[in-house]
A and B are shown apart, each in its own frame.
Chain A
Amino acid sequence: MQITQDSVITLELPYREQLQIWRTTFDSGLEPGRRGPTVAIVAGIHGDELEGLYVCHRLAGWLEQLNATRPEALLGRVELYPALNPLGIDTLQRFVPVFDTDLNRSFPGHPKGLLPQRLTDAVMRQLTGAALVIDIHASNVFLREIPQVRISEDFQDTLVPLAREMNIDVIWLHGAITVLEATIAHSLNSRGVPCLVVEMGVGMRITPAFTAQLMAGILRVWRRLGVFAADLAVPELTHEPVVADNSNVHYLNAATSGLFVPEVDHWTSVARGQRLGSIVSPHEGRVLSEVRSPVDGLLFTLREYPVVYEGSLMARIMALDPAMTSGRGAT
């Protein structure tokens, strides 16, 4: 096994410093024909989403341990890109600093374009040919998400079978949206490189339990793809996803502004009419608005940041067929 670190692009900053995207690679070193596929993890596209960075750390540790114990079990190549927006992470900014650009609306990029486009072009060049890319996101600072994979209906035939083994809780199928064609996932999938988008946790935080859960799924899928020897032991799957789509996801937006105080835990079964929380006024003792579930279902998104404006999203609930409700929601 060969372990290397390199940067896939170097761009000059105005005063003496450079912007680089770093990659850690674990390669079997086998010659073509005998070697397994290349897979990659990309994270940190948004500078305030840290869950993917920790996943990279844990995967690197697992692979380093493999190198110490059974290096020949790596047949393919694993590339970890913990921070596609390193300047954003280093300065705690979601978007590309100075350019104020969402890097995940800048794909597939251009080698002679603006800085964000040069970053995305460099990444796309490296990832072309991969057997699977997993793009890990961590919601934002407002909402906590249960581990889930989001898939455009355009690519569901390829991606849903992979996602089912990812040890996540929800697969969310969504319709094609033009603006999302500038994401890394769409750009890769439309070029024939399977890319799964993982959302989990909350911005500016890490959730070690989610990391361990996702790691089991990632290692399982990689082994299935032939990145590892078939007899290599990987953690067992502990979660089976339910499938959400636009027909069964309900959004709960704030009826008024104030402080949202939840009364239920994230990722629990809720009943139609059940009180999930309330919006209160800091100025007075009364409750401004009660937040109730419109359906029987699973609470898979819950607001983490208490201040809400009228319209702020507080929760998302996946409606369940009553016959399916029992037994769901356990973590």
Chain B
Amino acid sequence: MTAPTLLRMTAPLREDFEIAYHDVGDASRPPALALVAGIHGDELNGIFVLARLANFLNSVAAGSQPEHTLRERVIVVPAVNVLGVNVRNRRWPFDDTDINCMFPGYDAGETTQRIAHAVFELTRQARYRIDIHSSNLDFEEMPQVRLYEPQPAERETARLFGLPAIVELHTQNVFTTTINYSWRNDPGENFVIQAGHAGALQPPICEQLFRSLVAFLQRAGILHGTGVSSDDDAVHYFAPNQTVPLISEHAGLFISHQEVGRWLQAGDVIGHVFDGYSGALRHEVHAPVSGLLSGLRRQPLLFEGDLIARIQCRHAVVDGIEIHLSDQGQ
């Protein structure tokens, strides 16, 4: 069977390339859900999870999973930046463009504008739209739903994933060219999921993400059946003023024994910064507030002004710095 493609383009010296997707369910109806991953070629968790989810949904649609019924149409794009995946490049490899800075795209424009346009046109008609990311190579995020200036319905729907954290953030200027931002102009609900870190395929995170997506499908009425849905763990909702980024004032080698997803008390040790030449301890990094450790640095080489951790507080925080990790693409 030939896979449907949302775009087919020539390449300078290779074969033509295409962006394939899965279209599962009644193709005569508008899709209820569109899932996109791999806009960044090094974010592998989302690619793997969406490929596995498409495999599952295709088997349901084929009648191979009699305990499940697919009630609505679902679009799944496991990887947008196909060439980037193959050459392990986060951006579009030819001109180093971040595809998530090209939305809503333009069908007569630059290559990445054309890619963005095709992805956007395919997905915009869905009732629910989900863009999956895995941070970057240096920083790990616990699986979480990200909302950017959401509608009330999106706040409620975000709980259907059953992921432990829902984090609401302001949209910064540099993120007005993302697919998530562009989706907002159409009726429907939009979600970003962050899970793990780039450059790795993390099985426990993929398992959690897979179960949360199936739970979402079931709870949203798209998939009927039982047996795969996520556990109903406590879901914590964090408003924009409940996020504290911890930024380093010291450079060196950073070492941490913490894991994302843990609850910290103010003063708990997050890690240590050592001088890479003398070996001396330069700084002990403490949690400035109590809260959920939603993100943690995995790259040991630490600059002054580098992000060490992100903590979600139960209460509003005054003077939180609005940092933007533009290399996270969200």
Residues of A within 8 A of B (CB): 11-16, 19, 94, 98-102, 105-106, 110, 112-118, 140, 142, 178-179, 181-182, 251, 253, 256-259, 282-283, 307-313
Return the 7 tightest CB-CB contacts between A and B, nearest first: A12-B251, A115-B305, A311-B111, A257-B10, A14-B301, A12-B304, A100-B327
Listed by A's residue number, 28 A-B pairs whose Cβ atoms lie within 8 Å are A13-B303, A14-B252, A14-B301, A15-B276, A19-B303, A98-B303, A99-B327, A100-B327, A102-B326, A110-B323, A113-B247, A113-B323, A114-B305, A114-B306, A115-B303, A117-B323, A142-B95, A178-B173, A179-B101, A182-B173, A251-B109, A257-B11, A258-B10, A259-B12, A282-B13, A283-B13, A307-B12, A308-B12
Q: Are A12 and B114 in contact, CB atoms less than 8 angstroms apart? A: no
Q: Which residues of B contact A100 (CB under 8 A)?
A: 90, 136, 327
Q: Are B323 and A114 in contact, CB atoms less than 8 angstroms apart? A: yes
Q: Are B305 and A11 in contact, CB atoms less than 8 angstroms apart? A: yes
Closest partner residue, chain B, to A14 (CB atom): B301
**Distance, CA A257 to CA B13, complexed state (A):** 8
Q: Are B110 and A311 in contact, CB atoms less than 8 angstroms apart? A: yes
Q: Which residues of A contact B252 (CB under 8 A)?
A: 12, 14-15
Closest partner residue, chain A, to B307 (CB atom): A114
**Distance, CA A311 to CA B13, complexed state (A):** 15
A124 to chain B, nearest CB (A): 15
Q: Are B12 and A115 in contact, CB atoms less than 8 angstroms apart? A: no
Q: Are B323 and A257 in contact, CB atoms less than 8 angstroms apart? A: no
A292 to chain B, nearest CB (A): 16
B174 within 8 A of A: yes
Q: Which residues of B contact A113 (CB under 8 A)?
A: 247, 305, 321, 323
B6 within 8 A of A: no
Q: Are B276 and A14 in contact, CB atoms less than 8 angstroms apart? A: yes
User: For A101, A110, A114, A179, which residue has the most chain B Cβ atoms within 10 angstroms?
Assistant: A114
B302 within 8 A of A: yes
Q: Given known contacts A259-B12, A307-B12, is B251 in contact with A13 (CB within 8 Å)?
A: yes
Q: Which residues of A contact B90 (CB under 8 A)?
A: 100
Closest partner residue, chain B, to A11 (CB atom): B304
A176 to chain B, nearest CB (A): 11
Q: Which residues of A contact B177 (CB under 8 A)?
A: 179
Closest partner residue, chain B, to A102 (CB atom): B326
Q: Given known contacts A12-B303, A114-B306, is B327 in contact with A311 (CB within 8 Å)?
A: no
Q: Are B176 and A178 in contact, CB atoms less than 8 angstroms apart? A: yes
Q: Which residues of B contact A313 (CB under 8 A)?
A: 110
Closest partner residue, chain A, to B172 (CB atom): A182
Q: Which residues of A contact B306 (CB under 8 A)?
A: 114-115
Q: Are B276 and A257 in contact, CB atoms less than 8 angstroms apart? A: no
Q: Are A309 and B11 in contact, CB atoms less than 8 angstroms apart? A: yes
Chain B, 127-175, CB within 8 A of any chain A CB: 136, 172-174
**Distance, CA A311 to CA B321, complexed state (A):** 39
Q: Which residues of B contact A16 (CB under 8 A)?
A: 276-277
B61 within 8 A of A: no
Q: Which residues of A contact B173 (CB under 8 A)?
A: 178-179, 181-182
Q: Which residues of B contact A179 (CB under 8 A)?
A: 101, 173-174, 176-177
**Distance, CA A114 to CA B326, complexed state (A):** 10
B9 within 8 A of A: yes
Q: Are B305 and A117 in contact, CB atoms less than 8 angstroms apart? A: yes
**Distance, CA A282 to CA B101, complexed state (A):** 31
A12 to chain B, nearest CB (A): 3
B325 within 8 A of A: yes
* Cβ proximity bits B220-249 to A, threshold 8 Å, 1 near / 0 not: 000000000000000000000000000100
Closest partner residue, chain B, to A257 (CB atom): B10
**Distance, CA A102 to CA B173, complexed state (A):** 13
B96 within 8 A of A: yes
**Distance, CA A201 to CA B57, complexed state (A):** 52
Q: Are A311 and B323 in contact, CB atoms less than 8 angstroms apart? A: no
* Cβ proximity bits B197-219 to A, threshold 8 Å, 1 near / 0 not: 00000000000000000000000
**Distance, CA A70 to CA B111, complexed state (A):** 54
Q: Which residues of A contact B253 (CB under 8 A)?
A: 14
Q: Are A310 and B114 in contact, CB atoms less than 8 angstroms apart? A: yes
A227 to chain B, nearest CB (A): 32
**Distance, CA A116 to CA B109, complexed state (A):** 30
Q: Are B326 and A105 in contact, CB atoms less than 8 angstroms apart? A: yes
**Distance, CA A224 to CA B42, complexed state (A):** 52
Q: Which residues of A contact B9 (CB under 8 A)?
A: 257, 309-311
**Distance, CA A253 to CA B108, complexed state (A):** 7
Q: Which residues of B contact A257 (CB under 8 A)?
A: 9-12
Q: Which residues of A contact B95 (CB under 8 A)?
A: 140, 142, 312
A154 to chain B, nearest CB (A): 14
Q: Which residues of B contact A112 (CB under 8 A)?
A: 247, 321
B250 within 8 A of A: yes
**Complex partner residue of A312 from B110, B302, B323, B324, CB under 8 angstroms:** B110
Chain B, 42-88, CB within 8 A of any chain A CB: none
**Distance, CA A100 to CA B323, complexed state (A):** 15
**Distance, CA A258 to CA B177, complexed state (A):** 28
Q: Are B305 and A101 in contact, CB atoms less than 8 angstroms apart? A: no
B194 within 8 A of A: no
**Distance, CA A329 to CA B228, complexed state (A):** 68
Q: Are B327 and A101 in contact, CB atoms less than 8 angstroms apart? A: yes
**Complex partner residue of B304 from A102, A115, A117, A181, CB under 8 angstroms:** A115
**Distance, CA A19 to CA B306, complexed state (A):** 13
**Distance, CA A115 to CA B301, complexed state (A):** 14
Q: Are B12 and A14 in contact, CB atoms less than 8 angstroms apart? A: no
Q: Which residues of B contact A15 (CB under 8 A)?
A: 252, 276-277, 301
Closest partner residue, chain B, to A140 (CB atom): B95
* Cβ proximity bits B240-281 to A, threshold 8 Å, 1 near / 0 not: 000000010011110000000000000000000000110000
**Complex partner residue of B247 from A114, A307, A312, CB under 8 angstroms:** A114
* Cβ proximity bits B295-330 to A, threshold 8 Å, 1 near / 0 not: 000000111111100000000000001111111000
